[in-house]
Structure 1
Amino acid sequence: MTVTPSEPGAAKPAGAYLDHAATTPMSAAALAAFVEHAQLTGNASSLHSAGRGARRAAEEGRETVALAVGARPSEVIFTGGGTEADNLAIKGIFWGRRTHDMRRTRILVSAVEHHAVLDPAFWMAGHAGAEIVLLPVDSDGVLDLDALRAELAEHGDEVALISVMWANNEVGAVQPVREVVRAARPYGIPVHTDAVQAVGQIEVDFAASGVDAMTISGHKLGGPTGVGALVARRELALEAVLHGGGQERGVRSGTLDVPSIAAFAVAVREAVAGRQERAARLAALRDRLVERVREAAPEAILRGPDPVVRPQDRLPGNAHFTFPGAEGDSLLYLLDSAGVQASTGSACQAGVPQPSHVLLAMGVPEAEARGALRFSLGATSTADDVERLAVALPQVVSRAQAAGLVSGRAMGGAA
């Protein structure tokens, strides 16, 4: 198998960086755009020449992002990142729908959504009278469409919105977004999708998909942190979450971060333009990683759609494993000390590690879900990164399993 080297432009992180799904390095072109505009003064809302220059740069960025994702410029609402865009979608669409129809109280979300969608949805249940329905997924993390259709058949006139991510951030499962839209359309229900992980890895076309709102984020595709966008149809009823100067169609007030927007636009354009070549390279590298992990740790279990049987259903840069008998945090820290950076994919609240809600929704037993590691590839990933992981993994897994046994005995004694 031949795996091409990393793409030129982005600075390669130290060691083997296998956590691109969390944050991927800024591309050289995006960084240059950021620096160029950061040296200029001007508020995009000001009417003088400096302000008009800033506005021009922001609008050019808006046009670039729209063209890359199959949207109209007027549909791009800049935000401070993916989390803000998801909050605007969940809260803004719910309130917008309730303004016109008080019966619309139900929010349908897949059980494997990112917490940037789940948490605002449950916040709405506690503060705005929403009813949350978690839609089940199969053992690969793919949405159960029959369950969605059954829910709509029974409660379609009560649903305010549906939110299903384009691709899962943990196990890489690509979701049937267009089928969700087809199921929702007869009931007049708007559909939001978090496409943060999808743009630049698989084909994403806002208009062709039929969704009403879509979240994208800069630092997942070679842009800066702290900038993203909610792409939303003009006719969508959307209430503001931030109030102030009335920027961004009146639904997202705040001074536009022009340097970040300019860099974000460059990154989106690059990511989409180079998608096919990058996806092929990452898929080959991912397949090599899966092969080497299985050689180094035969007991490891690949989670998510099988990349050989169902390659179209999995992100090309994602490989997610559980390691029986080992705690994910132990694996993470031991790998880090060996110069390999990855992610557990689990939430940590109040300092207490919790198994991934994604894996639990897939039916993975809690004990197994605790031993999870996600390896995600990006522009700077190389075959050397994979080999460094493979060399370190046997000892790391052995030590993590030993630590798990000691921890288990301690817990048993405490009980």
Structure 2
Amino acid sequence: MVELNRRRVVSGIGLAAAAAAVAPLLGASTSAAAGGSDPDALLKAGRFDEAARGYEEILRKDPNDAHAARQRGYVALLSNRFAEAEKYLPLAVRLAPDDKQAKQWLADCYLRQDKLSAVVPLLRAIGKEPQAKWYEAVQGQPYQVSVGPSGRVPWLSMDPLPVVEASVNGGPPKKFLWDTGNTTGVGLSVRMAEEAGLRAVSQTKVNGGGQQSMDVFFGVLPSFQMGDVEVRNVPVSWMDMESPHELGTEPNPGSIGAQLFAHFVTTLDWVNEAFIFRPRTSGQARAVRAEAARAGSRPLPLWIDHDIPYTRGSVNNSGPQVVSINTGQDAGRAGVMALETAKRLKVRTDLSRPMYGATHGEIHKDYPCYPDETRIGPAIARGIYWAAAEQMVDPTPFDMLAHFGHTFFKPYAVTLDFAEMNVYITGGKPSS
């Protein structure tokens, strides 16, 4: 009997997945840019700055190239360079009014800036009426952030996945999972939504992985509080499926994901088992950079796709490539890579022990594997347990080497600087 990891089904359906999950397509091949380099190929290889220059060269020669405009806007969106994205993506929409992907990325651009009034017509134009009604129902400024004197929120437990205590609408504290690979801001169970007195403003159906479909409901949460950090007016989703709590049999009241973290300069401190939330300002970004420099940590790039954070890392002798910071990898694994990647990089893999689960509504099969070395900047792990997946289920327009998870980061503190779009890693000794 295949036993599904139902938490991963839940975590894949949330704010960005419900509002923005259109599989990114590169479309028709773009003509070669100056120097004979194809910007589509550069984008796929994760060479984003070079791809941007290639698309700009195409647009200098042909300002009406809709594909180049769309792709150039997407590259800017990866780094939250909103002014650039708002230059190129509207141009792509004007040049190709039927291009749903250009409209989706433009909606994502406005969504990340909490400009919901601009998001609504774009979602309607691509047939996402439930999501359009959701954001239309938000009255006033969404994600109103208040950070108290400490901004520090302790974790209640570390394993099998970290758990934090949070209060919904001023109610009693509940144990929430958190996961940077979870595209929700705050996702709730049906029971928690009912307890908080939430009203669904719209709903849709999604594939439930082994089930025919599940109902997903959308609403607006007045208050979500962790310690002395409060976020008000939060778009939330919940679904008609209860999932078991990671620490036992009680229902999981909900989860916290990357969309919420992106409203702060967020430190995930495995060493001291706590969050540190700072306001998302340039001043806080400078302070974090200075702290990291004193600890000997240099900035790494931070990119966002479908609200999941990415940076550069390596497996064995791969060299630096795009990887995700996806902390929801459970069952003790340090991360997940494609089986074909494991074979190519000569990662020791035990094909006699298949493991089954479900992510984003899709059943998958993995195998235990043990890379000699995995690395993100100064964070290194040698010979620890990973998983090699027969099929990776997170489509991106670029090649992604691996998902780095909770167990990999245990000796470290990781700061996701969403103000200046950098990652800093400090502390710890290499895992082995």
**Bin for the TM-score computed over the shorter chain:** under 0.3
TM-score (norm 1): 0.25
TM-score (norm 2): 0.24
The structure with the larger Rg is 1
- Greater RCO structure (CA 8 Å; 6+ sep): 1
As a proportion of its length, which structure holds more helix? 1
As a proportion of its length, which structure holds more strand? 2
